[in-house]
Amino acid sequence: MATQISGRLAIKMINQSYTSNTHFRKSSYKQQKKPPCASSSDTQVQVFSVSQAPKRLQEKTSLPINGKDEKGIMLASARQEAQVAMKRPDSGGMEGSVISLLANHFLVQFDSSQRIYHYDVEITPQPSREIARMIKQKLVQDNQEVLSGALPAFDGRKNLYSSVEFQNDKLEFFVSLPILTTKSVLPLRDINDMLESQQIRRKLFRVNIKLASKLDGNELSSYLSNDGDDWIPLPQDYLHALDVVLRESPAEKCIPVGRSLYSSSMGGVKDIGGGAIGLRGFFQSLRPTQQGLALNVDFSVTAFHESIGMISYLQKRLEFLYDLSQRKTRGLLGDEKKEVEKTLKNIRVFVCHRETDQRYRVFSLTDESTENLWFRDRDGKNLRIVDYFKEHYNHDIQYRNLPCLQISRSKPCYLPMELCVVCEGQKFLGKLSDDQTAKILKMGCQKPRERKAIINGVMAGSIGATSGDQGREFKLNISREMTQLYGRVLQPPKLKLGNGGHITDLIPSRHDRQWNFLDSHVFEGTRIERWALISFGGTAEHRSLIPRFINQLSKRCEQLGIFLNKNASLQPQYEPIQVLNNVPLLESKLKKIHRAVSSNLQLLICVMERKHRGYADFKRIAETNIGVVSQCCLYSNLTKLGSQFLANLALKINAKVGGSTVALYNSFSSQIPRLFGEKDPAIFLGADVTHPHPLDDSSPSIAAVVGSMNWPAANKYISRMRSQTHRQEIIQDLKEMVTELLGEFNQELNMLPKRIIFFRDGVSETQFHKVLQVELEAIKAACLAFPMYKPTITFAVVQKRHHTRLFVNETNSLSSGTQFFNENVPPGTVVDSVVTHPTEFDFYLCSHWGMKGTSRPTHYHVLWDENQFSSDELQKVVYNLCYTFARCTKPVSLVPPAYYAHLAAYRGRLYLDKSDSAFGKTTTSISRVSPPLKATPLPKLSDNVKKLMFYC
């Protein structure tokens, strides 16, 4: 597939041929020899304080001098306390065969002499973001002389950026704007078009503009050309200004959501059901990289609320209201009303009975039905709602038994549902159903060639960053070509499997690196003598499938080297699915089964008629109150007992009861003897925090840490979970959890690990410094719990939520033989140059084979490394670990410690969910209340399961 090129020099020379200066040569500085230090354009530079940096980190700092210009305006060179970032230990890895790639990064050249003027904007009355953009357009159009002929960029809120200075530092304008009185249109229409509309009225806004700072481009130039030892901070303000400039044109034509922009022009609107639509768009972010400033552009899909009448919307959203239009006299029962209120909370609506530009946010529902609602008018007269709308708007309220929408938190302000329409452009924050999720995923599932074409189309089209005049206004030159670079494809490791008590070896040679157990067994199979089966729901025909299922599962386990007693410890227990709604009854049923096997059950198999929220209670009761691991499946999977389904089930069961699927044939101690030894064990830790639903403002976050408990195989992980403050990303109880895991490791091996390799999942670049500062200290504090114990620690962040994509380069490939260019990059593809951080220790690794859509490489960013890994060593460790995941026979996309931590945190989330018999939903209600000061603690794991991979 790829040609071997010996040495890093070849790759480095090739990649350097693709890099160029990222700005025009108007300023004097040295041609860069080495890539500059940088981080994400929308984040602060992630660095460590000097006092905390290990010896290998650079120690020199430079403190910029705070200053003001002649007008007293703060200059952008003013900086906080200097901090330094850890450097890459070498020039990058050398192992693997070279592969020619494209990355969805587009080079941005800028003029370093270009100063950008930052103005604060205050608009009263405060408008929506869309209206604010219209105001800015009108203001610029009518005041060219006062604004010195500028075409400024606006973020829609408070920040305005101009390439020239306005005539005065403080300006006040009054803008009379035509406002649509019918529903808004998306993308935003031009003001001139709106003037031709019949249904408009004018509204007056006051706009105050004040000079905030002057941003100097030379700082970014110096930053990008820095090739010395002096640390230069990333000029975040200037970078943010450029980012706003490049979003100006797309934001006028698309719906901005976070850092993405959506438009119906990118493939129309797709109805995904349940009152939601899917819309295609693109992500855009400016990033400093090794090649310089680059615009990261990616294809994106998300769900929006459908803009339809409120009655139709409720019929689509809630099954129990599907016939609402046929039953206009219908009211809402207590539980139904709660469900409707939860569904409509914070949704924006407009009214269709009168001409107005106002948009309202739903706060709650009225206690009374519309029929019984009265209010006091301005004259102090009491009026019925239904009479008011008849008299003033000649409208007979049809749905009189429904409550009204309450659109104010503080005072009565009622809107009848039938007169409200859901506003367009609102991101769907509710939890998507399985069917909705499948449709959204299908919309975003493009093969590499198609995804690449979409991204290139954005860059060349009428809605991307190059579509407006802002680039020319601010002297920016944006490439329309994807970044070309060379990566390396690492070789797969030799694996160790079992064969009737003997060890066999295997090197995954297929293109997708998948292997099978045709001539071998799992590395360590378990014996399951005592087990039981419980069924929830299902027809008589369904239940007749159980004996065959047990027989086939037992045979498949035997083929894989796992012993599952063909005879269960007691007869299958068949229960109605409603038992899952009744927590006390469910618990008594499970305890009865456990007692029947002398409280010595190894495994409980559960078959369900369908997915049910009672699954959460089932898992919690089994793993905390009873102390047994369980394996759940659906009856729909039992109708066709495929070999793959049975094998997947067997592998999960084996891992849960203490076995292991595979091990590395050459352990880390033999692969990297410089760092790892047989008698100098290492522990791999993974950590993740899962947060509640976006609309939930009170439920706790769940933190989980897992640790490998065997050496040198390092393929069995136990977990510790804790609840913590709502949406708190920093792991509050990390010290205690790591202390427990180190203690368990010590019990298993009778020694403590010499090295700790910590993989932290779920952290954004803005949080790097704080996470490292707090959590590294917590790990060190955990080590102090053991006398004279001071291991070396590596702390790496693992990121999947990024938008860098790698494509095989069709036009300039070094690969030999047939190449399928519409396929994903092969497993083992690693990139640590050109599009990575210029000086810090990071790399992209695509360890898996992407069967559907376009692969997302995982980004590994090492924030701390006392173990002194080289690039090759750490990349090999991570890639090899990806082959040891217990649930499948192929390399996974995420390093297993982080993967397991994610699964464990999700299991902890289930423990806090309580089933609700009325709707089968959780009583962890979606609410807008202040979170409690102290998080509800998780129930304690049973001693029988806490040392097992029950979460797998």
Q: Does residue 255 sit in the same domain as residue 347?
A: no
Q: Is the pLDDT at 552 greater than 80, yes or no?
A: yes
How confident is residue 79, by pLDDT bands cut at 50, 70 and 90? very low
Is 355 inside a domain boundary? yes
In a domain, residue 6? The reply is no
Residue after which a domain boundary falls, among 641, 657, 673: 657
Backbone dihedral angles phi then psi of residue 774, each to the nearest 5 degrees? -85, -50
Mean pLDDT across 295-313: 97
Taking 60 as the threshold, does the pLDDT of residue 920 lie above it? Answer: no
Residues 314 and 350 in one domain: yes
**Cβ–Cβ under 8 Å, residues 736 and 725:** no
Higher pLDDT, 692 or 194: 692
The per-residue pLDDT for range 597-612, each reduced to its tens digit, is 988 999 999 999 999 9
CA proximity to 792, closest of 854, 865, 883: 865
The reported pLDDT for the residue numbered 917 is: 37
In a domain, 403, yes or no: yes
439 with 412, same domain?
A: no
Assess contact for 235 and 215: CB atoms under 8 A: yes
The confidence score (pLDDT) of residue 930 equals 60
Residue 37 has pLDDT above 50, yes or no: no
Q: Mean of the pLDDT values across residues 58-80?
A: 39
What's the average model confidence in pLDDT over 244-264?
95
Residue 226 shares a structural domain with residue 158: yes
Residues 226 and 132 in one domain: yes
Are residues 295 and 320 both part of a single domain?
no
Do the domain assignments include residue 623? yes
Distance CA 390, CA 386 (A): 6
Instruction: Identify whether the C-beta of residue 841 lies closer than 8 Å to the C-beta of residue 865.
Output: yes
The number of angstroms, rounded, from the C-alpha of 287 to the middle of its chain's C-alpha atoms is 18
Same domain, 123 and 156: yes
502 — pLDDT class (breaks 50, 70, 90): confident
CA-based nearest residue to 39, from 197, 234, 241, 285: 234
Residues 623 and 607 in one domain: yes
pLDDT band at 932 (very low <50, low <70, confident <90, very high): low
What pLDDT, in 10s, does the model give residues 346-397?
999 999 988 776 789 999 999 999 999 998 877 888 899 999 999 989 999 9
What pLDDT digit, counting tens, does each position of 132-141 carry? Answer: 999 999 999 9
The whole-number pLDDT of residue 640 equals 87
Cα–Cα separations (whole angstroms), residue 611 to 433, 620, 951: 12, 16, 18
Tell whether 340 and 258 lie within a shared domain: no
Q: Which of 657, 692, 709 is the last residue of a domain?
A: 657
* Nearest-angstrom CA–CA distance, 40 and 20: 20
The answer to whether residue 18 scores a pLDDT higher than 90 is no
With respect to residue 553, please indicate whether it lies within any of the assigned structural domains: yes
pLDDT-derived band at 576, boundaries 50, 70, 90: very high
Please give the residue range of the domain that contains residue 626.
525-657
Work out the average pLDDT over 217-228.
77
| Structure confidence at residue 57 as a pLDDT band (50, 70, 90) | very low
How many Cβ atoms from other residues are within 10 Å of residue 8's Cβ?
A: 19
CA dist 777 and 798 (Å) reads 19
pLDDT of residue 690: 96
Higher pLDDT, 921 or 335: 335
> What one-character DSSP code corresponds to residue 66?
P
Q: pLDDT category, 819, cuts 50, 70, 90?
A: low
Strands (E), 847-936: 858-865
pLDDT over 90 for what percent of the chain? 74
CB 410 within 8 A of CB 323: no
- Amino acid at residue number 623: E
Is residue 144 situated within a structural domain? Answer: yes
Residue 911 has what pLDDT? 95
What is the C-alpha separation between 701 and 496, in angstroms, rounded?
38
Which pLDDT score is estimated for 677? 85
Q: Name the β-bridge partners of 262.
A: 255, 281
Q: By C-alpha distance, which of 426, 343, 414 is closest to 376?
A: 414
Among 48-57, 350-359, 410-419, the least confident range: 48-57
pTM above 0.75, yes or no: yes
Please give the Cα distance from 730 to 932 (Å, whole number): 17
17 confidence band (pLDDT: 50, 70, 90): low
**SS3 assignment, position 48:** strand
Given 423, 456, 491, the domain boundary residue is 423
Q: What is the mean pLDDT of the chain?
A: 86
pLDDT tens, 676-717?
A: 988 899 999 999 999 998 888 889 999 999 999 999 999 999
Other Cβ atoms less than 10 A from the Cβ of 460: the count is 11
Q: Is the dihedral of CA 665, 669, 674, 676 positive or negative?
A: positive
Q: Is residue 611 part of a domain?
A: yes
**Ramachandran angles phi, psi of 253, nearest 5°:** -115, -10
Cis peptide before 178 (omega within 30 of 0): no
Helix then strand then coil, in percent of the chain rounded to 5, is 25, 25, 45
Question: 238 and 119, same structural domain?
Answer: yes
* 116-134 pLDDT, tens digit each: 999 999 999 998 888 899 9
211 shares a domain with 352? no
What band does 226 get if pLDDT is binned at 50, 70 and 90?
low
Q: How many domains does the chain have?
A: 3
Output the pLDDT for position 59. Answer: 34
State both tokens at 343: 């569904």
- Given a cut of 70, whether residue 530 has pLDDT beyond it is yes
Domain assignment present for residue 353? The answer is yes
Whether residues 253 and 168 fall in one domain: yes
Q: Phi and psi (nearest 5°) for 883?
A: -90, -5
pLDDT number for residue 381: 85
pLDDT per residue over 831-885, tens digit each? Answer: 999 999 888 899 999 999 999 999 999 999 999 999 999 999 999 999 999 999 9
**26 pLDDT band (50/70/90 cuts)?**
very low
CATH number where 362 lies: 2.170.260.10
Give residue 359's pLDDT: 86
The pLDDT of residue 693:
85
How much is the pLDDT for 812? 65
* CATH code where residue 550 lies: 3.40.50.2300
Q: Does pLDDT of 289 surpass 50?
A: yes
Q: Rounded to 5 degrees, what angle do the CA atoms 606, 607, 613 make?
A: 85
State the Cα–Cα distance between residues 60 and 769, nearest whole angstrom. 18
Question: pLDDT for 761-782, tens place per residue?
Answer: 989 988 998 999 999 999 999 9
Q: pLDDT tens digit string along 874-903?
A: 999 999 999 999 999 999 999 999 999 999
Q: How do residues 433-451 score in pLDDT, each as one tens digit?
A: 999 999 999 999 999 999 9
- Please state which of the ranges 23-32, 146-155, 363-372, 402-411 shows the lowest mean pLDDT: 23-32
Instruction: Return the pLDDT at 355.
Output: 76
Q: How many helices (H) and strands (E) does the chain have?
A: 22, 41
Task: State whether residue 733 is helix, strand or coil.
Answer: coil
